[in-house]
Chains A and B, each alone.
Chain A
């Protein structure tokens, strides 16, 4: 079943066709990797679908409904959530507060002015549970600004996850963290996504990560989709390997040999 579909989605910045009439689809339940060199249009595509920016033309269908003109708020209600490439968490709030806020928002409780946030035990319990799943439980009382880069990346994803989305976009969840930290972070994220039966789209540069964790890979190049297939198909796709992955894949094979 198709969960999300874009039809001829387009966005230009001046003369640059950042997303050039793209037909992109995500099937229910899959973990899809969106790859491509810098400037290929991956982040712009996610920005369009999540509502951060408006498309010039084209439509976005989510769960069969046209969400092209919907506000960010309504898209989140519909079940589209995202994390950001440059970590965006609430630094002065506690780690637990970050997750709690997402839950309060999901339950439309952020309109409550005269009730104590900390006395909502159900929300608190759920927030602790989310932190446990992400391995951040012992950081609950700390200010989010004081976490390590890897923990911040995880918290960023945890906040989006706490919204209980149907479709979750993760924009480079392991960028900026050490190579050593990448695998543990991806292990946590992918296991949560799979056990929670959340459909996820991950933008990622690290090919090692991409081939290891995704069900399907969509390759973008200069604003268009260049290839779409299983990791094995992409690995064997000559067009992809020459135009995009060439050096990276070879280096990767050498490293493995």
Chain B
């Protein structure tokens, strides 16, 4: 979000080394570690979508669990009612379902800003959570719905291949490709004339209106794109998790998406990506080492707000700037 317009060359300068590392990493680390990274990349996609609203449009959503959950439950329903296990069908279904919900919820929310926007997004997501919770004959209630291993590009998992190997190898590369496509598309969106209009709305809503930007309309489109991203993340997450439960529709999961983004830094493009990956490791190790893991995360959040309000990416950016000036 630096005022100096970012060039594609500069973006590739960062993206290519990251792509190389992410490509070769599964050859070097344990399958379990690969799946952790996979979760992280999926959360990164969710956070990228979320941050289109927070970082670029100035709207703090506390209801993004709704879209993540819709992406996940859409897959479970496709399996349950249509008996289809194609990942491409999952992605299409997840995108459509999350888009439909985001279009409706967005329509209701974009007239509001700040706390009113946050509360309304949260309330609406809780409606979905209670539906998933109560309509157990459709949703499985707290037991959730199981999702089998999907076929990728029409290829089903070969007989005898262990599920873990599938998830840590084929499925990892599938997720990785979608992650890069999503990140590239988001990079383009935030640097497009449309993205500039969103940032203008964030900086000064009234003036944006008087430059001819139809504020509610643009916010709605941003909300829609944001919801689809988070929905896609939910869709990718289900086969990895093997199960979807109402937990991912609960507002506390929305809180996690906020956490990813703040941890990484919402004022940078890379922030939500770093935040999604780092948060997942953080939570996994906190859960693995102590029953008080929630307290550990709470302390991290407090420290973050007090010491590193710009998040990991924002702080790193500032340090680099300072070093460059000193040199």
What residues of chain A have their CB less than 8 Å away from a CB belonging to chain B? 50, 52, 72-73, 76-77, 81-82, 84, 88-97, 100-102, 104-106, 109-118, 120, 141-144, 159-160, 163
**Docked-complex contact B194 and A113, CB < 8 angstroms:** yes
Binary interface profile of B, 200-211, with partner A (CB < 8 Å = 1, else 0)? 101110111111
Across-interface contacts of B210 in A (CB, < 8 A): 50, 52, 72, 76, 81-82, 84, 88, 160
**Docked-complex contact B207 and A92, CB < 8 angstroms:** no
**Docked-complex contact B199 and A93, CB < 8 angstroms:** yes
Q: Provide a sorted-by-A list of 15 A–B residue pairs whose CB atoms are within 8 angstroms.
A: A84-B210, A88-B206, A92-B3, A92-B203, A95-B3, A101-B213, A110-B193, A110-B218, A112-B192, A112-B194, A113-B189, A114-B192, A118-B5, A118-B7, A144-B3
Of A113, A118, A160, most B-chain CB atoms within 10 Å:
A113
User: With A and B bound together, what is the CA distance between A209 and B210 in angstroms?
Assistant: 26
Across-interface contacts of A93 in B (CB, < 8 A): 3, 196, 199-200, 203
User: With A and B bound together, what is the CA distance between A59 and B210 in angstroms?
Assistant: 21
- Asked whether B95 is an interface residue with its Cβ less than 8 Å from the other chain, the reply is no
**Docked-complex contact A116 and B211, CB < 8 angstroms:** no
User: With A and B bound together, what is the CA distance between A52 and B208 in angstroms?
Assistant: 12
User: Could you tell me which residues of chain B, from 1 to 34, have a CB within 8 Å of some CB in chain A?
Assistant: 1, 3-8
**Docked-complex contact B211 and A163, CB < 8 angstroms:** yes
Contacts known (A89-B204, A110-B197); A102 close to B7, Cβ less than 8 A: no
**Docked-complex contact B212 and A76, CB < 8 angstroms:** yes
Q: Secondary structure of the B side of the interface?
A: helix
User: Could you tell me which residues of chain B, from 202 to 231, have a CB within 8 Å of some CB in chain A?
Assistant: 202-204, 206-214, 218, 221, 225
**Docked-complex contact A89 and B207, CB < 8 angstroms:** yes
Partner of B194, one of A90, A110, A160: A110
User: With A and B bound together, what is the CA distance between A249 and B173 in angstroms?
Assistant: 77
- Asked whether B265 is an interface residue with its Cβ less than 8 Å from the other chain, the reply is no
Q: Smallest distance from the beta carbon of B309 to chain A beta carbons, Å?
A: 16
Across-interface contacts of B199 in A (CB, < 8 A): 90, 92-93, 97
The total of chain B residues at the interface (CB under 8 A) is 34
Across-interface contacts of B197 in A (CB, < 8 A): 101, 104-105, 110
User: With A and B bound together, what is the CA distance between A111 and B212 in angstroms?
Assistant: 12
- Asked whether B191 is an interface residue with its Cβ less than 8 Å from the other chain, the reply is yes
Across-interface contacts of A97 in B (CB, < 8 A): 3, 5, 196, 199
Question: Given contacts A111-B193, A144-B3, could you give 15 more A-B pairs where the C-beta distance is less than 8 Å?
Answer: A88-B207, A92-B1, A92-B203, A97-B3, A97-B5, A101-B200, A101-B211, A106-B212, A109-B193, A112-B194, A114-B192, A115-B193, A116-B8, A118-B5, A143-B3
User: With A and B bound together, what is the CA distance between A88 and B205 in angstroms?
Assistant: 9
Across-interface contacts of A81 in B (CB, < 8 A): 210
Chain A residue at smallest Cβ distance from B218: A110
User: With A and B bound together, what is the CA distance between A117 and B6 in angstroms?
Assistant: 10
Across-interface contacts of A101 in B (CB, < 8 A): 193, 196-197, 200, 211, 213
Across-interface contacts of A117 in B (CB, < 8 A): 5, 191-193, 195-196
Across-interface contacts of B165 in A (CB, < 8 A): none
- Asked whether B188 is an interface residue with its Cβ less than 8 Å from the other chain, the reply is yes
Binary interface profile of B, 159-182, with partner A (CB < 8 Å = 1, else 0)? 000000000000000000000000
Q: Which 7 pairs show the lowest CB-CB distances between chains A and B?
A: A94-B3, A88-B207, A90-B203, A105-B212, A143-B3, A104-B193, A118-B5
Of B6, B204, B225, most A-chain CB atoms within 10 Å:
B204
Q: Smallest distance from the beta carbon of B56 to chain A beta carbons, Å?
A: 10
User: With A and B bound together, what is the CA distance between A159 and B206 in angstroms?
Assistant: 13
Chain B residue at smallest Cβ distance from A111: B194
Chain A residue at smallest Cβ distance from B56: A92
Q: Smallest distance from the beta carbon of B207 to chain A beta carbons, Å?
A: 4
- Asked whether B185 is an interface residue with its Cβ less than 8 Å from the other chain, the reply is yes
Q: Smallest distance from the beta carbon of B179 to chain A beta carbons, Å?
A: 18
Chain B residue at smallest Cβ distance from A80: B210
Chain B residue at smallest Cβ distance from A84: B207
